[in-house]
Every structure is written in C-alpha cells, then in structure tokens.
Amino acid sequence: MHVRLQFLAALLGVALMGSCSHPPPPAGADAARAAADARPAGCFLATRLKGALEAAIDWRGDTLLCEGGARPEGRGLRASFAGKGSQGEALRFVFGLAARPGAGESRNVATHLTLIVEGSGKLYATQGDAQCTTELLQQSPLVAQPGQWRVRARGYCIDPAATLDASARLYMERFDFEGLARFDPEDLNVVPKP
C-alpha cells in the first residue's frame, strides 16, 4: 500500500509539471541548430487504444503537452504526454523507462505505462516494467538548452494496463513518441538502485 501511495504521489507530481515551452534560441553561429532543437513540433505521440477507451492518438506540436525527467532513486527516466482523446477527455500518458538518463541509444528497454484520464479519477497502469518494451530509445542533448534532452522511443506492450482494482483494461499494442526531458547533472551520474 505504501508503494502504491508513493506511485500515485509521483504521478500527481508529473501531472502538475509544465509543458513543452522553449526560450527563444540564442543569436550567433549556433542559432540555426538551436532553432531546430527548440521547435515545439518535435513533441509527438502516436498510438491506438482499445478496451476501456477506444482512440487513435496522433498528437503533434501544439495539440499536446510533453515533459520528462529522471525517475526517483535512479530507476531510469520518464516521459509524459497530455492531450485530448477522441471524446474530448483529457488524457495523460506516462512512460517509465528503465534506462539511464542521458545514455544515448538503448534497445529493448523495460517500460512501465500509466494512463490517467484527468478529472475523472480513472488511472490505468501496467503492473511492473515487464508488460511493455521500448525497442529503440534515443536520448540526445539540446545544445542550445543545457539540461534539456530530446527523447525518442518506439515500442510495444504485450499485456494491458488496468485500473488498480483490475475492473477495466486498456490495450495499447504499439507506441511511438518524441518528447523532452530535463536532467540535472546528478541525474546523469546516478548509479541505479536494484
């Protein structure tokens, strides 16, 4: 029960974080690269939901909020995406990725998925990190924005996410996303705990 409360508190913290807003790129020789790094259109999420919710998700640019950062206690990183479902409901996807922040390219990364239907009290989550796998995870620093990283992932889930009482299930076979994460220097050097 204590672990579940910590998990819900962490999700609430993610839900209250900001969006993919970027400061204007700096002037000078790196301005072109900085402009490319800062473009909001870099955030997207594509997936299809079946079961408790039916929706084809293709969120891009201004239609979604994206954010991310390190998971607690060196357990990897998380990427969060919020937008509107097919019925206008506010949805937030949170991907917990068991890879070291700033690791460059990783393959076959264990992934935890949580979907929150905001304002309804509904939350769907996979149990542990074994139900979803990120086949390819790429993390690259944004030169013009120290501490900010672009995170690109594609993967699949073999089991559904369920409500905490297991009364409803949500299926998401494949996912593809690109988002942003902010890592502090200590996040990049943390030793993962078993």
Residue ranges of domains in the chain: 2-19+42-189
What is the pLDDT confidence band of residue 16, given thresholds at 50, 70 and 90?
Answer: very low
- Dihedral through CA 9, CA 57, CA 153, CA 191, nearest 10? 0
Could you report the per-residue pLDDT of 103-147, keeping only the tens digit for each?
999 999 999 999 999 988 899 999 888 899 999 999 999 988 889
Q: At residue 160, does pLDDT exceed 70?
A: yes
Residue 191: what pLDDT?
64
**147-157 average pLDDT score:** 96
For residue 3, give Cα distances in angstroms to 6, 8, 9, 27, 192: 5, 9, 10, 47, 18
* pLDDT for res 192: 58
90-97 and 77-84 as β-strands: parallel, antiparallel, unpaired? antiparallel
Give the residue among 91, 100, 96, 58 at the shortest CA–CA distance from 78: 96
Write down the pTM of the prediction.
Answer: 0.78
**Gap between the Cα atoms of 77 and 52, Å rounded:** 27
Average pLDDT of every residue of the chain: 81
Give me the pLDDT at residue 193, please: 57
Q: Give pLDDT, residue 189.
A: 80
Phi, psi for 188 (deg, rounded to 5):
-80, -15
Residue 3 pLDDT more than 60?
no
- In this prediction, residue 129 carries a pLDDT of 83
pLDDT digits (tens, 9 = 90+) for 48-92: 999 999 999 999 988 899 999 999 877 899 999 999 988 889 999
